[in-house]
Copies of this chain bind each other. A is one copy, B any other.
Amino acid sequence: MLTLEQALDAVLTQARPLPACERPLEAAVGSILDEDVAADIDSPPFDKALVDGYAVRTGDLQGPEPRLDIGEVITAGRVPARPLGLGEAAVVMTGAPIPVGCDAVVMHEKTRLEDGHVVIEETAVRPAQNLLARGREMTAGSIVLSRGLLLNPARLGVLAAVGRASVRVVPRPCAAIVPTGDELVEPSEVPGPGQIRNSNAIMLKASALQSGADAETWPIAPDDEKPLRQALEAGLRWDVLMVTGGVSAGQRDLVPDVLASLGVQCIFHKVRLKPGKPLWFGVGPPRSNRGGSLVFGLPGNPVSVLVGFLLFVKPALAALAGKPEAETPETARLARGFRHRGDRPTYHPVKVLRDAANSPATLLLEPLAWSGSADLCTVAQADGFAAFEAGDREYGPGEIVGFLPMR
């Protein structure tokens, strides 16, 4: 059986960035840029006032409180009609181009009007003060954003500033979610004897959306080959296919066989891990223009589904989106002693007692009383999972353990 590290390696080997495509800026938030972007024009395209006030020639400012003639008024969007005269100050608004001949802008608040002239109250006005010289931010043809950057709001602003209405990015992956099992009913129904409600589909959809993917859920597929095959076949058109249930060793666990018949190659089945051991992973047949769907068969228990998503599907979605691998896994300290029993590495729900954003050295984990992988209610009170190693062992208070946050 694979270790967690081996299994994650096997997943990430298959999860290559999706082929890049052109997207409107609004749809590119959070995506990885897949081109080098050059400025098309100088920015600012003119020497520009950074404040409201008076554009002046510093050479004119001799003695205390120099007094200047008031020249033309230049509002934003207008251009100066003429160069600045000697002993003159032009009225400028923030963002406006300043006239030829001036070399600084004095803030409105540091001047006063007197007999139709402006008196400069500010002493020691420096050349270049309160103005941005043409091309100072970027010059036409220079690269302003490099391939591989994550498109955050500031970078989208730069794209707009260089005239881009669309941009080449690694697209967000899309994920299909197929819940399976004769025992499942939809949340709106009242479960009959032996039935339970489908809580996995909404969990996986919300998880995928929070990971920056698009996601769509299928109706429940019964443990019956024909309808199961139809649902899985449709799901294989997505970049990621998550199937819940049907992957244990049970007699009615049809998912692996049906996937195989659809040309999905099994990469591994079962990981040394609790909860979530029966995890199944494979790759579908190549699609036009891109690789095969990454197929995750998650065991039906809700907590197994959640842990399987966090450990394997989330990193795969990030890799498909072209994002760099996350840093080393997080760790934290136990708030109290804990006796762990079990022959597999175990993810146990914990509450974070102190969330000191600035000194997670003091991040303390309180293990919750938990009934195992079907007990989602306890996990709903948790902030994440503590990772305990295989083997029975008494962990002491303050001991450092792995931490898998739910965020």
Residue A9 interfacial (CB < 8 Å): no
A244 and B94 alpha carbons, distance in the complex (Å): 12
Residues of B within 8 A of A201 (CB): 160
5 smallest CB-CB distances across A and B, nearest first, come from A77-B182, A77-B183, A76-B183, A93-B250, A157-B203
B306 touches A157 (CB 8 A): yes
B157 touches A376 (CB 8 A): yes
Q: Which of A68-107 contact B (CB under 8 A)?
A: 73, 75-79, 91, 93-97
A41 and B207 alpha carbons, distance in the complex (Å): 26
A378 and B154 alpha carbons, distance in the complex (Å): 9
Q: Which of A189-197, A229-237, A288-296 contacts B (4 or more CB under 8 A)?
A: A189-197
Encoded as 1 (CB less than 8 Å from any B CB) or 0, chain A from 21 to 64 comes to: 00001100110000000001101111010111000000000000
B209 touches A29 (CB 8 A): yes
B95 touches A301 (CB 8 A): yes
Q: Which of A182-241 contact B (CB under 8 A)?
A: 182-184, 187-191, 193-207, 209-210, 223
B193 touches A160 (CB 8 A): no
Residues of A within 8 A of B (CB): 25-26, 29-30, 40-41, 43-46, 48, 50-52, 73, 75-79, 91, 93-97, 108-109, 132, 136-138, 144-145, 149, 151-165, 181-184, 187-191, 193-207, 209-210, 223, 245, 248-253, 299-302, 306, 309, 327-328, 330-331, 355-361, 371-380, 382, 406-407
Residues of B within 8 A of A25 (CB): 187, 202
B138 touches A210 (CB 8 A): no
B373 touches A163 (CB 8 A): no
With A94-B301, A153-B207 known as contacts, the answer to whether A223 contacts B77 (CB < 8 A) is yes
A95 and B279 alpha carbons, distance in the complex (Å): 16
A165 touches B187 (CB 8 A): yes
Query: Is the contact region of chain A dominated by helix, strand, or loop, or is it mixed?
Result: loop
A157 touches B380 (CB 8 A): yes
A198 and B95 alpha carbons, distance in the complex (Å): 12
Residues of B within 8 A of A163 (CB): 187-190, 197
Interface-central residue, A45, A97, A205, A380, by most chain B CB under 10 Å: A380
Nearest Cβ distance between residue A255 and chain B, in whole angstroms?
13
B181 touches A76 (CB 8 A): yes
> Can you name the residue of chain B whose Cβ is closest to the Cβ of A108?
B249
A299 and B158 alpha carbons, distance in the complex (Å): 17
Nearest Cβ distance between residue A14 and chain B, in whole angstroms?
24
- What are 18 A-B contacts defined by CB distance under 8 Å? A26-B206, A45-B196, A46-B193, A75-B252, A76-B223, A93-B251, A96-B194, A97-B193, A137-B375, A137-B376, A138-B377, A152-B210, A154-B302, A154-B382, A157-B203, A161-B199, A163-B188, A165-B188
> Can you name the residue of chain B whose Cβ is closest to the Cβ of A94?
B248
B376 touches A50 (CB 8 A): no
A91 and B250 alpha carbons, distance in the complex (Å): 9
Residues of B within 8 A of A331 (CB): 358
A309 and B157 alpha carbons, distance in the complex (Å): 14
Residues of B within 8 A of A108 (CB): 249-250
With A210-B29, A375-B137 known as contacts, the answer to whether A95 contacts B300 (CB < 8 A) is yes
